[in-house]
């Protein structure tokens, strides 16, 4: 029988080893609690439709609304992917959604459908540059086009600091971080 300080040290060591084992063994499961993918079926459906990675769409949703379908920004962006009503109306027209009204931006299916289409459109418009795509999603297509045309920003990850809008810089960095984390936690078999 172990007694005294030697026994307490051994018990503490065994507890530490057990805790370490549990943390390592459960890390992905615990991490998925902090990086969930709500509305997974809708995300996968529309990501596939527009040739986007579901992890990217989930990352945008996480950063934009934290998966809150009722989110509304002070500027009026709505829903999961924080789509402005004018952008939603324009995107709905482009995809042939004839019964659009801005309240539908709170519907996850409509919001993700229009948001993924918009991401795809920006991705094509900016020659598949993921950083310019994300910057345009947040800061506006016209601004990003001007920054690139005037040499204010070269569209690279290395020069994100050159993006004139702090909110847009932060958005791109946050989405990239969330995207990497989603890739670590969810693979193709999860979709």
Catalytic residues: 64
Tell me the HSE value of 179 on the side-chain side, using a 13 A CA sphere.
Answer: 16
Exposed e or buried b per residue across 42-62, where buried means at least 16 C-beta atoms within 10 angstroms of its C-beta? bbbbbbeebebbbbbbbbbbb
* Helix or strand run (H / E) with residue 88: helix 85-95
Give CA–CA dist 153/167, Å, rounded: 15
Cα 116 from Cα 52, distance rounded (Å): 8
If one counts every other C-beta atom within 10 angstroms of the C-beta of residue 140, the result is 15
């Amino acid at each position: 029988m172990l007694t005294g300080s030697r026994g307490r040290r051994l018990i503490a060591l065994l507890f530490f080893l057990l805790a370490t084992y549990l943390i390592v063994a459960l890390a992905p499961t615990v991490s998925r609690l902090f990086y969930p993918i709500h509305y997974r079926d809708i995300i996968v459906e529309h990501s596939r439709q527009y040739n986007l990675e579901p992890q990217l769409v989930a990352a945008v949703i996480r950063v934009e609304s934290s998966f809150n379908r009722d989110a509304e920004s002070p500027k009026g962006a709505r829903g999961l992917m924080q789509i402005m009503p004018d952008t939603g109306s324009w995107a709905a027209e482009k995809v042939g959604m004839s019964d659009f009204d801005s309240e539908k931006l709170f519907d996850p299916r409509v919001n993700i459908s229009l948001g993924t289409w918009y991401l795809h459109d920006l991705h094509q418009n900016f020659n598949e540059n993921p950083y310019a795509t994300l910057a345009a999603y947040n800061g506006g297509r016209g601004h990003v086009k001007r920054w690139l045309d005037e040499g204010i920003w070269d569209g690279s990850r290395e020069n994100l600091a050159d993006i004139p809008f702090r909110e847009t810089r932060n958005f791109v960095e946050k989405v990239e971080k969330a995207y990497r984390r989603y890739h670590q936690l969810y693979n193709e078999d999860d979709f």
